[in-house]
Amino acid sequence: MQWGRIAVFASGQGSNFAALIQAQQAGKLGGGSIELLVSDKPEAPVAQRAEDAGIPALLLRPKDFGSRELYEAAIVAELQRRDIGLVVLAGYMRLITPVLLEPYAGRIINIHPSLLPAFAGKDAIGQALDYGVKLTGVTVHFVDGGMDTGPVIAQRSVEVISGDTAESLAERIHKVEYGLYPEVVAAMAAGRVELNGRITTVSSL
């Protein structure tokens, strides 16, 4: 498996997917190349982005399969056929099962719009606003079987400003995501991320 052959998984807008494509085009993805989009929502805007960029897409509806495991087995077969070595979740709204986790152990990463372990799960930005924190941010982490529980690779903070709405805060958080995620994907693609237990080390990020 080659680290630099990347599949991006997304369910929605795909603005992080777009940022990763731009980074690749600018030669800033550590030699990595995005070989495939996987989406569980064939009608999502991210599918159109893949088409526009000429990136192959695997668009499968989980409900067309007998179980979550069969759905993921179909994905794994395609990943292996394309020799994918790195799975990048970018707004992929499903938990991953052992069917994908086992063959891709240590090779699946996710981006989450909070400073984990605060505000895991859905609507992290709304959760942070409701809680009243003054500082939130972005986390990139390895994926395990839990909800946003895997080892942290990188984090960046974003201040909550008085009068922030979910939209205004989301806009600043997304900007940080578009900078941070390509950097981490580049580091992964170049083999610059080490994992020991829960502790990760990124060389020259």
Chain residues in the site for ligand GRF (CB under 6 A)? 10, 12-16, 90-91, 111-113, 177
Tally the residues of the chain. 205
Supply the minimum distance, in Å, between the C-beta of residue 114 and ligand GRF.
9
Nearer to ligand GRF (CB atom), residue 21 or residue 69: 21
**Of 14 and 182, CB closest to ligand GRF:** 14
Instruction: Tell me whether strands 193-196 and 199-202 are parallel, antiparallel or unpaired.
Output: antiparallel
Cβ at position 15, least distance to ligand GRF in Å: 3
Query: Nearer Cβ to ligand GRF, position 73 or 152?
Result: 152
112 catalytic? Reply is: yes
Residue nearest to ligand GRF (CB): 91
Alpha-carbon span 20 to 89, nearest angstrom: 11
CA-closest candidate to residue 23, choices 90, 72, 84, 75 = 90
Report the alpha-carbon distance of residue 8 to residue 161 in Å, rounded: 32
Catalytic choice (41, 49, 107, 112): 112
Alpha carbon dihedral 117, 119, 121, 124, in 10-degree steps, equals: -140
d(CA 9, CA 92): 6
Shortest Å distance, C-beta 110 to ligand GRF: 7
Active site (catalytic) residues:
112
